[in-house]
Structure 1
Amino acid sequence: MTESVAESGAGTARRRFIAPLRGQVDTACFQHPLFAEFMAWRTLMTGDAWPDIETLNACMPLPGRRFVAQDASLLEDGLHYETRIQQGRIATRPQNWHDLFNAMVWTRYPAIKHALNAQQCGHIARMGPSARNAGQQALTQFDETGVIVRVRDVALLDAWDAHDWSTLLHANAALWRSGDIAIAGVVGHALMEQMLVPGRLLVGKCLVVQGEDDAVCVARVAEAIINGDVLAAAAELRPLPLAGVPGWYPQQDADFYAQVNYFRPLREGRAYPQPLR
């Protein structure tokens, strides 16, 4: 089995997650909307055998970068993971769900992954490879559990600001279906890994953009990251209980949204930034 650390549905504690073996995964899980934008690589997820590094590079070519097997010989250089990426090598563990999903996100959102790496390397250059500051933690949290949300009318954020989840997600379900508010992109590959286990109630950490077009909003997030305008601290990220998004969970009645252990109330003093525009 493979291991990764990702946020649980509780929305606060970080717990060690052990992904199921490939043969234990019900491939029906890949029909979930979380995977909708990654269906070009469905066979890499559902095939009987793991794709090797050569297959990843052939199926998901990246200008200026390539996936390399993370083995003992690679690690002998002693470099930081992010430094290797800056040099063009994305260390990838064989037969590993977490790293397969990471490769898919690299291919789907190269500008965002490049921006995250550039910011991480800037922090490493200033602080050294061992220290970690609030900015690095925010970058990592978005990289692992990040979701980009597009909204047309910022007034919809009033309910989100108050953690009024029933209003945001249940009462306004029609606005999610119409695209007035929508998930424009899933960046968090740890979310994808946890979705392999049925019934997981996941929490995404969101950057919000006011706009009309998903691709434009994703590009705006990449621009904001590379310019250092966002992700100075993890508190900038808005939590979103993803099972509450209309159509993302089988039973979404009023009782479901009343579960305060998942749909957490707002902590005193917590406030969120305005959306990018």
Structure 2
Amino acid sequence: MTAAGCAHPLFDGLSAYHDLVQSPGWPGIDELNARLSLQGRCLIVQDEALAGDGLHYEQRIAQGGIATRPCNWHDLFNALVWARYPAIKAALNARQCLHIARGGSRRRNRAQEALTQFDETGVVVQVRDAALIEAWDRHDWSGLFAGQADRWRRGDIVIAGVVGHALMEQALLPGRRLVGKCLVVCAETGADVLARIAGAVGAGEVLEDPLELRPLPLAGIPGWHPRQDAGFYAQADYFRPLREGRVYPPPLIIPRS
């Protein structure tokens, strides 16, 4: 069990746990529970007996148990994201449980789809100036990446956190070009962007519809792919044009103190 793909910048936020994903053997559930701080929750083995308890996956988490398949990349990354971003994960879970209580466990509404997409493929982006995402609004990918490469390098636009554990799993596949589904926060350096996201999710301020999420072709970020010339950004099958009528919400704001 090794993951050379963890050298990908997508995993920078999980650097404290790289030994767990690069070890010669899979970490066991007990080992993970002992190592990770899961804020009052614990990992429990997902088996047939657990699946037969009648609880929805999200409801079980609300009671303290995160169903986890042993020797499974998807679930291992989920556990690590719980340890790294507990407030965001708890807010996602609370909103899912709210919708389940209102509409039952068999039907999923638009908000649940949005919550799930962010949970699986979510990325938090921080910008210092909302004008920096005008090119993103238009899907002007060359303008967003190449045209503002210096702003990316200076930290005026930055990946503040990667929540999507399915995105991490896909990053292990060589050559896979990834697309994150993003929430954006406009704030100065040093602001608690992750707390702002957790609060917005918990309050239902965001993720009421999947169309709120901005797609971000991660290979376009300066330094994230070996080829980033004009021809690269012209590949419309990856850097997709804006669909007619698609409008993204403005970024969340953290006022200057």
TM-score for the superposition, normalised by structure 2: 0.96
Gap runs ≥5 in structure 1: 1-21
**Aligned pair 1:198/2:174, yes or no?**
yes
Partner of 2:98: 122
Equivalent pairs counted in the alignment come to: 253
**Aligned pair 1:162/2:138, yes or no?**
yes
Alpha-carbon shift at residue 103 of structure 1 (Å): 0.4
Cα separation, 2, equivalents of 1:103 and 1:164: 35
Across the aligned residues of Structure 1 and Structure 2, the Cα RMSD in angstroms comes to 1.0
Alpha-carbon shift at residue 28 of structure 1 (Å): 2.9
Partner of 1:86: 62
Report sequence identity in percent.
Answer: 63
**Aligned pair 1:249/2:242, yes or no?**
no
1:37–1:214: structure 2 CA closer, same or farther, 3 Å change rule?
A: farther
Alpha-carbon shift at residue 213 of structure 1 (Å): 3.4
Cα separation, 1, equivalents of 2:83 and 2:167: 17
Amino acid at match of 1:59: R
Gap runs ≥5 in structure 2: none
**Aligned pair 1:151/2:134, yes or no?**
no
TM-score for the superposition, normalised by structure 1: 0.89
Alpha-carbon shift at residue 214 of structure 1 (Å): 6.2
Tell me the SS of whatever aligns to 1:170. coil
5 Å-filtered alignment, 1:176-187, equals 176-187=152-163
Partner of 1:133: 109
Amino acid at match of 1:265: P
Structure 1 stretches (4+) deviating beyond 3 angstroms? none
User: Per-residue CA shift, 1:197-254, capped at 9, x if unaligned?
Assistant: 1110110000000012366111101000000000000000000000001111111111
Aligned partner (choices 165, 175, 191) of residue 151 of structure 2 = 175
Q: Is the 8 A contact 1:206 1:240 kept in 2?
A: yes
Aligned partner (choices 31, 46, 69) of residue 70 of structure 1 = 46
Cα separation, 2, equivalents of 1:196 and 1:28: 8
Partner of 1:220: 196
Cα separation, 1, equivalents of 2:81 and 2:7: 17
Alpha-carbon shift at residue 102 of structure 1 (Å): 0.3
Q: Is the 8 A contact 1:185 1:214 kept in 2?
A: no
Alpha-carbon shift at residue 259 of structure 1 (Å): 0.6
Amino acid at match of 2:165: H
Amino acid at match of 1:60: L
